[in-house]
Amino acid sequence: MIGSIARKEFSEIVRDGRFKWTAGIMVLLLLTATLAGYQKYSGYMRIQQLAQGESNTQWLKQGDKNPHSAAHYGNYAFKPAGPLAFFDTGISNYAGTAIFLEAHKQNFAIGRPATDQSSVGRFGDLSGAMILQLLMPLLIIFLGFTAFAGERESGTLRQVMSMGVTNRQLLWGKALGVGTVVLIVVVPCVLVGTFVLSMANLNIVGEGMGTRVAALSVGYLIYGGIFLFLTLAVSAWAKTARTALMVLIGFWAFAGFLAPKAASEISKAVHPSPAFGSWFSDMRSHQIRGLDGESPWITVEKYKVELFRKYNINSIAELPVYWPATRMQKLEELDHPVFDLHFGKIKSSYTEQRRIQDRLGFVAPTLPLRSISMGLAGTDLIQHIKFLEDGEAYRRYMVSEMNGYLSKAAASMNATYSSSNYMRADEKVFSIVPPFEFDPPSLSATLREHRGNFVMLIVWLAAAMGAALFAVKRMSVEKG
Amino acid sequence: MLEAINLKKAYGNMEALKGLDLTVNSGDVYCLLGANGAGKTTTINLFLNFIEPTGGTAKVCGIDVTEQPLETKKLLAYIPEQVMLYGNLTAMENLRYFAQLGGHDYSPDEYRGFLNRVGLQPDAIDQRIKTYSKGMRQKVGVAIALAKRAKVLLLDEPTSGLDPKASNEFSQLLLQLKADGAAILMATHDLFRAKETGTRIGIMNEGRLVQELSTDEVSHADVERIYLEHMHAGDQYSQKVA
């Protein structure tokens, strides 16, 4: 019974002119987005690898110099993208792609693609994710809004309901019919996308690609189901197909455009990000005056005294470690908690904002889905923060290795220390520090992080189904 | 087969049906006559359980339609003034869909058999319904009733707007169904058809069944005279109230 309803619904939709146009446009856009996205992604990855390689070479070939100066010369960390970034660009257009790593300073990520875009860029990239998030619901609405309302207007609903079919059977049948049409449009594009993905070099940043694609498919499938049942609910409830279409387009615009914007504004109002000026001056004053109000220079003096007592000596010349390097490292380490505190404030404000946006998922199903999608694609805030953390950890490691080498290797120069008499090191020393490698959040951590969003999507699906069942139960077969 | 017992339907203060008692037996073609708004369509909608009665019961083959609406719908077929079908599907596909909704399935040849029996041209069977005339659609409606093996037919002005030939063909189909033992309730304005095809005639006015006739006891002229008498009486009554 449900099968025959679905089959009839399917043939009717497929023979309708509406279908040919919308499906054609949808397929064209999806394929374009997939292929263009893949091209863009592979271009980005080529540049990223080239730039990282170049920077690593520059680090090694920077010329013979004092290791601490080498730490000043620094290196760059370039952010690699996971292969799924071609499907969902997430925040990567607005987040930086590189961090300059140098002694004494924790820098912001630079190189935001959005700064090079015209105002058209504000509409977002034509990515597979964007099409599935915005246009797939539109396709579902266009194919499904007449499901009940149209049949009621044309009078076939009376005929159908006189046959002894239950409203529920009709609902499931129509859901199956419309759903199959949507899948026939979307699935081939997804398969092309998956094929393209399989050509990518998955070793870069792509743990559990199969699971990621599967989890993304589940997420988008639930998302499509939500719009399918909402469409059928509204179609059964609305008096005319026109009303149904208007209500559904209204909800679509709300869910797709208004709700994400509003969620972002609300999250910023609740957890404002620190203003740059005061944030920076607070950090500087902590660096200069010390976190606990003790100047770093005094702390370093105390440290020296401590070392004298430890080695039972009275002068720098007797120290078994090279004092300028040891002192530099001590100063560096005094900055760490200051950076952790202040960069942590920015990080936690963004994290809190993201949490609030996730919690607002009950407002529109697009919110949890968007979060899941960029999370699994590895283009979300969590991934970016991990990149910043990895970059900073690498910077600290690089600086401490250089200072550490110097403090041991130049230990005998304590007595003869002067600005013109210092130790020089070469490539062999600089190569103590291996190239930077980004370790993105694990798949299991990502899935754990998005458990709530998946639950939210399932709640949405259940609510949409409930609404549809309720609407068909009370459905009138009469016009007007 | 079809039974209304003190059946009532009111919309707010407006009483559309004021206590209808009616029985249609197997082999009967019961024609409901009456002006627009007399309660004919309301009666049919109540038997279809499309609307809830405000009093009384409607039964199909002894089953109360409000208690087991799905069971009773399986027993009856409904042919409205304009049989509504899916324009983008062929007659064959429409018939198959509705037959399956009614819980039946047949071979393609059997479906063709139903459509041939109602007199649809064989070359039209695989054409989309949107190219069909009204007469052809009504024939598909009857084919659906045949495929459903309905014991009871509810017809709501099924021949209005049909040309005389199509109307005659439709009546012939009804007579076949009657001969097969169906119970038929038909709302109509066509006094001539009512006398020709009907076995009994019920005249309704303002929600009441005011007179029942057996067609073999009256002439065409009698039917028209009696009908008009009731309509005039109704008008005078309305004028008095006004």
Q: Where are the domains of chain B?
A: 2-84+150-241
Give the pLDDT confidence score for residue A201 in this predicted structure: 63
Angle (CA) B1-B4-B6 rounded to 5° is 155
Residue A203 — very low, low, confident or very high, per pLDDT cuts 50/70/90? low
Token pair belonging to A257: 């455009």
B38 to chain A, closest Cα gap in Å: 19
Lowest mean pLDDT among A111-125, A428-442, B86-100, B113-127: A111-125
The single-letter code of the amino acid at A228 is: L
B27: Cβ contacts below 8 Å, ≥ 6 apart: B178, B179, B181, B182, B183, B199
The mean pLDDT of A40-68, rounded to a whole number, is: 92
Q: Report whether pLDDT(B40) > 80.
A: yes
A16 to chain B, closest Cα gap in Å: 7
A4, A15, A156 ranked by CB distance to B85: nearest = A156
Contact B189, B222 (CB under 8 A): no
CB atoms B84 and A164 under 8 Å: no
CB atoms A477 and B50 under 8 Å: yes
Q: Which CATH superfamily is domain B2-84+150-241 in?
A: P-loop containing nucleotide triphosphate hydrolases (3.40.50.300)
Q: Report whether pLDDT(B37) > 70.
A: yes
Residue A288 — very low, low, confident or very high, per pLDDT cuts 50/70/90? very high
State whether residue B50 sits within 8 Å of chain A by CB. Answer: yes
What's the mean pLDDT when you consider all of chain A? Answer: 91
Residue B237 — very low, low, confident or very high, per pLDDT cuts 50/70/90? low
B84 to chain A, closest Cα gap in Å: 5
Instruction: State the helix-helix crossing angle for A17-60 and A167-199, rounded to 10 degrees.
Output: 30
CB atoms B73 and A164 under 8 Å: yes
Residue B215 — very low, low, confident or very high, per pLDDT cuts 50/70/90? confident
Contact A9, A174 (CB under 8 A): yes
Give the number of residues written for chain A.
Answer: 480
Q: Report whether pLDDT(A342) > 80.
A: yes
CB atoms B78 and A160 under 8 Å: no
Token pair belonging to B98: 């509705």
Closest of A398, A403, A301, A415 to residue A66, by C-alpha: A403
Gap between the Cα atoms of A41 and A21, Å rounded: 29
Q: Coil, strand, or helix at residue B122?
A: helix
CB atoms A160 and B148 under 8 Å: no
Closest of B213, B179, B181, B182 to residue B195, by C-alpha: B213
DSSP H stretches of helix in A254-410: 259-270, 276-289, 296-311, 323-359, 366-377, 381-409
The mean pLDDT of A42-71, rounded to a whole number, is: 93
Angle (CA) A406-A411-A416 rounded to 5° is 105
The mean pLDDT of B146-162, rounded to a whole number, is: 89
Torsion from C-alpha of A59, A65, A69, A71, nearest 10 degrees: 30
Contact A427, A61 (CB under 8 A): yes
Token pair belonging to A97: 């792609």
The mean pLDDT of A83-111, rounded to a whole number, is: 90
State whether residue B46 sits within 8 Å of chain A by CB. Answer: no
How many C-beta atoms surround the C-beta of residue A206 within 10 A? 20
Token pair belonging to A445: 């951590």
Candidates B47, B48, B78, B97, partner chain A, best to mutate (most A CBs within 10 A): B97
Q: Report whether pLDDT(A200) > 80.
A: no
Residues of A in contact with B77 (CB under 8 A): 162
CB atoms A4 and B101 under 8 Å: yes
Closest of B227, B140, B145 to residue B183, by C-alpha: B145
For every residue of A326-344, which 3-state class applies, written as one string?
Answer: HHHHHHHHHHHHHHHHHHH
Complex prediction ipTM: 0.87
Give the number of residues written for chain B.
Answer: 242
Contact B194, B223 (CB under 8 A): yes
CB atoms A162 and B48 under 8 Å: yes
Give the pLDDT confidence score for residue B63 in this predicted structure: 93
Q: Report whether pLDDT(A206) > 90.
A: no
CB atoms A164 and B103 under 8 Å: yes
CB atoms A159 and B78 under 8 Å: yes
Residues of A in contact with B83 (CB under 8 A): 159
Token pair belonging to A155: 């009078």
Closest of B4, B23, B132 to residue B64, by C-alpha: B4
Half-sphere exposure of B211 (CA within 13 A, CB side): 18
Candidates A160, A163, A172, A478, partner chain B, best to mutate (most B CBs within 10 A): A163
CB atoms A8 and B48 under 8 Å: no
Contact B99, B167 (CB under 8 A): no
How many C-beta atoms surround the C-beta of residue A163 within 10 A? 23
Contact B143, B115 (CB under 8 A): yes
Give the pLDDT confidence score for residue A363 in this predicted structure: 94
Give the pLDDT confidence score for residue A209 in this predicted structure: 84
CB atoms A1 and B103 under 8 Å: yes
Closest of A141, A140, A147 to residue A221, by C-alpha: A140
Residues of A in contact with B93 (CB under 8 A): 8, 11
The mean pLDDT of B129-154, rounded to a whole number, is: 91
Residue B22 — very low, low, confident or very high, per pLDDT cuts 50/70/90? very high
Closest alpha carbon within chain B to A159: B84
Percentage of chain A exceeding pLDDT 70: 97
How many C-beta atoms surround the C-beta of residue A265 within 10 A? 10
CB atoms A162 and B86 under 8 Å: no
Q: How far apart are the first and last CA of chain A?
A: 28
Candidates A158, A159, A181, partner chain B, best to mutate (most B CBs within 10 A): A159
Longest Cα pair distance anywhere in chain B, in angstroms?
Answer: 60
Contact B186, B198 (CB under 8 A): yes
The mean pLDDT of B121-143, rounded to a whole number, is: 92
Gap between the Cα atoms of B209 and B197, Å rounded: 20
Residue A114 — very low, low, confident or very high, per pLDDT cuts 50/70/90? confident
Q: B206-211 contacts: CB < 8 A, separation 24 or more? A: B206/B18, B206/B37, B206/B38, B206/B39, B206/B234, B206/B237, B206/B238, B207/B15, B207/B16, B207/B17, B207/B18, B207/B20, B207/B38, B207/B39, B207/B42, B208/B18, B208/B19, B208/B20, B208/B39, B209/B20, B209/B21, B209/B22
Closest of B21, B17, B32 to residue B184, by C-alpha: B32
Buried b (16+ CB within 10 A) or exposed e, B211-229: eebebeeeeeeebeebbee
Instruction: State the helix-helix crossing angle for B134-147 and B108-117, rounded to 10 degrees.
Output: 130
State whether residue B151 sits within 8 Å of chain A by CB. Answer: no
Torsion from C-alpha of B16, B22, B25, B29, nearest 10 degrees: -50
A402: Cβ contacts below 8 Å, ≥ 6 apart: A67, A68, A70, A71, A103, A433
Give the pLDDT confidence score for residue A480 in this predicted structure: 58
A15, A162, A477 ranked by CB distance to B88: nearest = A15
Closest alpha carbon within chain A to B86: A156
Give the strands of the sheet with A98-101, arranged side by side.
A75-78, A98-101, A109-110
Q: Report whether pLDDT(A8) > 90.
A: yes
Token pair belonging to A382: 């969590």
